Amino acid sequence: MNSVLIIGAGAAGSVVAKKCAMNRDVFKKIHLASRRLESCKKVQAECKTPIDISQVDADNVQETVALLKKVKPDLVINMALPYQDLAIMDACLEAGVHYMDTANYEPREEAKFTYKYQWPYHDAFKAKGLMAILGCGFDPGVTNIFCAYAQEELFDTIKTIDIIDCNAGSHGKAFATNFNPEINLREVTQRGKYWKEGEWIEIDPLSISAMIDYPEVGEVKSYLIYHEEEESLVENIKGLEQIRFWMTFSDNYIKHLEVLQNVGMTRIDPVMYKGTPVVPMEFLKSLLPEPSSLAENYSGKTSIGVIIKGHKDGEKVRYMIWNVCDHAETNKEVGAQAVSYTTGVPPVVGAMMLFQGHWKAPEGEKGGVFNVEQLPPKPFLEELGKQGLPWHVRQIKKKEQKDLFDVET
């Protein structure tokens, strides 16, 4: 296997294309497709080696199938919107192509992050001998693989997982989102949720916070929100008692978010404006800066990882595993800010794992739908550092993250 089709030429999709083009020993054929051909042309011109491009409406299954049959890729890397996951999976099944994405399916009419729509595809992909690899971004993605590595190498039993995500960068805009505004704002404005002792517990948005000490950044106020990797990790990390997800938001971001919510601009249901139905969130998206436009003057770093508590050899232990990524450095390499970079590099590494035979269905099976933590973590993490996302692991003491461990949930 050596041929890849990337669907989606946005900020993260462009990183995928550019990084594939830097690894021609693995990716002999690279094809980029998007709804807007102009976006593909821009990325094509910036790639270090030649790639092919096409226009495609990923909501249209038959149009995507026709492109797949023309291009004949071994793998589709879906970097389109989460709304389009199922249509692209259907196209891959019909055309007989492996599938990979970085975010789970979400219906347009409901901010509902869940794998319940994609996991039922397992038998169909298995029957065709195809792999569908879900959530191969950073979070979800690398954070899941950190947990799988911890389960395999660092712990006998994992009891709690805290996924921590800090963007300590500055883009100089009054208000902007680091990835697709629709997805970003839907994610933040929905009710928070975490899993504890076998049940999901919902909370009001941004109602629980903690001061977390992020490597190379320092202590930053972080908010408990719901994130999709929690759902799959609950299924795949044995003995788990609690999992939470924490993300940082500046006071300025929260101020703008509160105003937008109060005036109804984050609504995802249509409202009538002069006889025309308009979805406020979609209109707001058209007003905000494109995430891909933020890279040039972005400063600071992202610091993302996991803090895990459990037991090893009868002793209670705590570990932190993390990556730090510099906005200015990623802009120098691929013309992208670090949030796009940390999302775009992992699926390139995941594709390498599939092509090189490190990631495959369990023995006796030929395919199916798998979250990344169900696949071998060590070869992925070894390659991840080589591709620009070095990771670190160390044992920590409770006092180093006392506020986090003391938060009652």
Taken in order of first residue, the domains within the chain and their CATH numbers are 3-138+339-386 (3.40.50.720), 142-336+390-406 (3.30.360.10)
Q: How far apart are CA 261 and CA 249, in angstroms?
A: 16
pLDDT (0 to 100) of residue 295: 64
**Whether 370 contacts 99, CB under 8 Å:** no
The stretch 20-38 carries a mean pLDDT of 98
Each residue's pLDDT tens digit, 267-308: 888 999 899 999 888 898 888 877 767 767 788 999 999 999
Look at the pTM and tell me if it is higher than 0.75. yes
pLDDT bin (cut points 50, 70, 90) of residue 11 is very high
pLDDT (0 to 100) of residue 107: 82
Sorted by sequence, the CB contacts under 8 Å of residue 383 that are 6+ apart come out as 349, 352, 353
pLDDT (0 to 100) of residue 181: 67
Sorted by sequence, the CB contacts under 8 Å of residue 341 that are 6+ apart come out as 15, 325, 330, 333, 334, 388, 389
Q: How far is CA 162 from CA 90, 230, 247, 302, in A?
A: 34, 10, 11, 17
Whether the pLDDT of residue 65 is over 90: the answer is yes
Q: How far apart are CA 159 and CA 296, in angstroms?
A: 42
Can you read off the two tokens belonging to residue 39?
């976006």
Each residue's pLDDT tens digit, 370-383: 999 999 999 999 99
Between 191 and 346, residue with greater pLDDT: 346
Q: Which long-range contacts (CB under 8 A, 24 or more apart) does 38-46 make?
A: 39/9, 39/10, 40/9, 42/9, 42/14, 43/9, 43/13, 43/14, 43/17, 43/18, 44/17, 46/14, 46/18, 46/335
Question: HSE (CB half, 13 Å, CA atoms) of 246?
Answer: 28
The stretch 29-33 carries a mean pLDDT of 98
Question: HSE (CB half, 13 Å, CA atoms) of 305?
Answer: 24
pLDDT (0 to 100) of residue 113: 78
Each residue's pLDDT tens digit, 157-204: 999 999 999 999 777 776 766 666 666 776 777 789 999 999 999 999
Q: How far apart are CA 409 and CA 407, in angstroms?
A: 6
Q: How far apart are CA 234 and CA 336, in angstroms?
A: 33
Window from 8-12, 172-176, 387-391 with minimum mean pLDDT: 172-176
Say whether the peptide bond before residue 82 is cis (omega within 30 degrees of 0).
no
* Residues linked to residue 194 through DSSP beta bridges, in sequence order: 201
- Amino acid (one-letter) located at 398: K
Give the other-Cβ count within 10 Å of 107's Cβ. Answer: 13
Question: Is the C-alpha dihedral spanning 190, 191, 192, 198 positive or negative?
Answer: negative
pLDDT (0 to 100) of residue 100: 98
pLDDT bin (cut points 50, 70, 90) of residue 111 is low
Query: What would the DSSP string read from start to end of 215-260?
Result: TTTEEEEEEEE--THHHHHHHHSTT--EEEEEEE--HHHHHHHHHH
